[in-house]
Structure 1
C-alpha cells in the first residue's frame, strides 16, 4: 500500500472541522446569551402586560369574586353624596338612589336601609333650613322627599305646620280672598285662577279662616248646580266628574247626598239600557252604555260584568267566523274582544277559547288542503315514526336537534298530519313531554323546561295546563334573576328577566324585579362611566 504525504492542503482539511467546532461553540454561547437576554425581556414585557390587564380588570374581577363589593361600593358612594347634601338626583347620583341601588343588589343590607333613614332625616333638616330662609318651594320639595322615605309622621307633620304658618305670614291672605271673590263673581269657579283653587290655597294656609270656608261653600254649591244641569241634559259622566271634584274639596258638603243618589239612579238606567242592547246583540251601543255607567261609578261591578259580556260576544262571533274559515273576520272580532276587555282579558275565558278555536280552524283548513301522501311519503312517515320511537326509548325527547323524538314526529306530521300513526305518536308523546317539563323544573333546569314546554304546546295546543306551566316557569326565571341580581350578575339577571317576560308578561313580582334590576343596572352604568 502506498502512503501519501498529507501535505498542507490535507492538514488544512483536517484542521477545518476543529475550527468549525470552535466557531459552533462560540456561536452557541452568543446565541444562548441572547436567548437568555430575550427571555428576560419577554418575561418583563409579559409581566407588564399582565399588570396593566389586572389593573384594568380589577373592578370586574372583584365584582365576580366578591359580588357584595358592588353593593358596598354603592353604599360608600351614597355616604359621600349624603355628606355633600346631594339627597336625590334624577341621574341616579343622589344618596337616595345610590342606597336604593345597593338594596336592589342586596336586600338584606341593613346599613343601606339605615342610610335611607338618614337621607330622610337629612331631608327634614333641609326643609327646616329652607323654611328659615323662607324658600317655601324648596321646603315643600324636601318635605315630599322626607315623606317618601317614611320619616316619623309626627316630625313631618310638625314641620309641615311650621311651613304652613310661615307661608301664611308671607302671603297676603286678604289679597287672595279678594281675588277669589272676584273670580267667583265673574263665574270663574275652577282653573288656575279660579275661585275654588284660590279659596283652597287660603285654607291650606289658614284652615279656620271663616271667609275662605264660606266662599268655598258657595263655589261648591254653584258647581253642584252645574252638575244637576248636566245630569238633566243626559250627561251623567260630566256630572259625575264635577261631583268627584266637589268631593275632593269637601266630602261632607250638604248638597252632595241628593246629587249622588241621582247619579246612582242614572247609572242604573244606563246599565239597564245596556242590558237591553246586549240582549239584541247591538254590541257597540251596549258597550257605550256600560262605559257610561262606569264613568259615573268606576266601581260598578255589574257594569264591568256587562263590558266583559260584550267582549265575550265578540269572541263568540270570532268562533263562528273561524268555523267558516273566514279568518280575517275572525281575527278582527278577536282583536275587538281583547281591546274591550283590556287589562282584564284573563277574566274573559271566551277570548282564550276563541284563540284556540282560530288556531285549530287554521290547522284544519291546512289538513283538508293537504293531498293524500304518496307511497314514498308513507314509507318516509313510517321511518320517521320508527325513529321517533327509538329516540323516545333513548330518552332523547327534545335533544339533539333534528334527531329528537319531537323533531322526528314534527317532520312526520308535516308530511301526513292525518296519519293515524302520527296522531297516536302525538298522543303517546304528550304525557312524556309533560314529565320532561316537570322533571326539568324540579331540577331547576329552566332552559330545558322551556324546550319541554314548547313541545307540550305543539302536542297539546294552548291548554290551561300549558298556560299554568308557562306561569310557573316565569316565576322560576324571576327567582333565578333575583339570585343573579343579588350576586351582582347584571347580565344574567337581565337574561332571566327577558325569559320571564317571554313566558308571562303579567307574572307576579315581574314589575318589582324589573324595577330593582333597572336601578342596579343604572348604578353599574354610572360606575363604569366614572
Structure 2
C-alpha cells in the first residue's frame, strides 16, 4: 500500500511559491532602479554636452542667443530692467563673453538712441519720472549730447509749466523774509534750488539765492569772530553745496583759514605764558575742527608736560591733592611722555618722604619750612603773581604753608593779606566774563578763609553767569556748549535758581534736533 501523504508537503509547496514571488518582485525593483540610473546618466550627459561642448567650445552660439534676445528687448521697449532681461543687460552680457565683438557695442548704441526716443515720448505724455529715468539711461550709454540736452530742456520746460514756479518763488521769498534760510524743505534755499532745477535762468530765484547765501556767509563770519570755528565751517560748507561760485565764498574761506592760524598762535602763546588750561581749550577747539591737526596734537602733548611740571612743584610743597590733580591732567594729555613719567616718580618720592617725616616733623624744621613758604609768597606778591602761575603763586605758597602748619598765626596773617586780592580777582573775572579764572579765584577765597556767606553769594553769582552763557549757546543752536555750561553751573552751585527749567529746555531742544 502507498504511504499516506503528510501535511508538511502542502506547506513546503506554499513556501517555495512565496520565495519565487519575492524574487520576482526584487528583480522588478532592480529593473526600475537601473532604468532610473540610466535616465539620470543620460540627462547628465545632455547637460554636460550643452554646457561644456556647446557653450564652451562654441561660445558664438551663446553670444548670438544673447544678441537676439537683446534685439527683441530693444524692439519691445524693454531697455533696462533690474532682473537682467533688459536690452542693456543682455548686450552687456554678450560683450562680457567676447569684449572684441563689435555687435554688442553697436546694440548698446541702439539702446541709447531708443532711450532718447523713450524720454521724448514720456515728456509728450507728461510722464516726467519715466522721462528722467530714460534720460539717465541715455546719458549712461553715451547717447549724443545734443539729443539728450534737447529732450532735457523740453522736460524742464514742461515740468516748470506744471510746477507752479511763481508759487515756489513766493514761498521761498516768504521764508527768507523771516530768516528761515536752510532749516528744512520749506526753507528759502531748498525752494530756490527746486525752482532753479526746473528753470535755471529764473531771475527771482537766482537773486533770492544770492542774498540768502550772502546772509549765511555773514553769519559764518560772525561765528568766526566769536570763536565758533565748527559752526562757521558748517555754514561755509552749506553755501558751497548750493553755489560753489558765490562771490563772497573765497573771502570767507580765507577768513576761516586765518582764524585757524590765529588760534594756533594764541594757543602757543597761552602755553608759553603758563595759561595751560586756556592753551588746552584752544588746542581742543582746533582738534574738534580737524582731528588730524598735527600742530594741535603736539600742543596737547606739550601741555601735558606743563601739567607734569606743575605736579612736581605741588609735590615739593607736600600739596599732594593738587599734585595728583595736575598729574592726572598730564597723563590724560601725554601718557607716553618722559616728562610725565618722571613727574609721577617725583610725586611718589615726595609722598613717601612726607609719610616718613610729616607727623614727626620737628618743630624747628616745621618752622623753617613755613618761613620759607611765606617768604616765597611775599616774593610772588612782589612780582604780581598773586594767584598765578599755578604752583609758584603767592596763593599756592600760602596754601602749602597752611598744610604744614594750619594754626600758625603768621600763615593766618598772610592769608588775610592775600584775601582782598582774591576777591578782586573774582570780581574782575566776572566783569571780563572769564569764568574759569573767576572759579579759580573763588576757590582761593575759600581756602584763604573768606566768610562762608560771602563765598556762598559768590558761588551763586558765578553759577548764574554760567546759566546765562548756556542760554546764549542754546539760542545759537550750540547744544554741546549749552550742556557744558549747565554742568559748570550745577558744579559751582547745585541749587542755582533756574537750572532745572534750563535743563528741561535743553533736553527738549536735543530731542527736536
- Range of TM-score over shorter length: 0.3 to 0.5
Q: Rg: which structure is higher? A: 2
TM-score using structure 1 length: 0.42
Q: Which has the higher contact order (CA 8 A, sep 6+)?
A: 1
TM-score using structure 2 length: 0.44
